[in-house]
Homo-oligomer: A and B are copies of this chain.
């Protein structure tokens, strides 16, 4: 394959998957090239380093996730139902990946943050920015719910941060146990961080 933008896309696509399933350190440039069917020369034509390609893969993952967030938070539903959808987002994806790869991969951003956040400031800051943006979606939705009288008055910023932390913790817990039923049960409980009268499964 030549140095076409198609090669660049294939490199990003393969890196997304390997990064998500196996993490940053476990995968080298050779394997990334092999997976993409791209020569090493092409790799270095498009990217300076594994980190450079990994950041592109993180950005591609984020673009898809942001589209998913846009869909969730513009759906014709009450605000609380949208927040429940946010919590459960990714559950079906995780089940599909478990069927395909034999295990729950968890959240690619959370995984990478814990693996590399202590060693690479560029990656940590990018992931930190992604988390902040997700929190802004949640905070806006909470404010709209409060304004609409669907959600009782709360500190929307603090609860937004708690919701994201909880969702990340659910992925971590379920990935460690490799248990999709645990993931679903945990995610469903998160709404109690927002409402006081949610069912206590």
Binding site for B on A (CB under 8 A): 21-23, 25-26, 103, 105-106, 110-111, 113-115, 117-119, 124, 127-128, 131, 154-155, 158-159, 161-162, 164-170, 172-173, 175-178, 182, 185-186, 189-190, 192-193, 196-197, 200-201
Contact = CB atoms under 8 A, between A and B. Distances in A.
A156 to B, nearest CB: 10
A128 B159 CA distance: 28
A118 B131 contact: no
> How many monomers of this protein are in the complex?
2
A121 to B, nearest CB: 10
Given A26-B25, A111-B114, A173 B164 contact: yes
A114 B164 contact: no
Given A155-B201, A193-B189, A172 B165 contact: yes
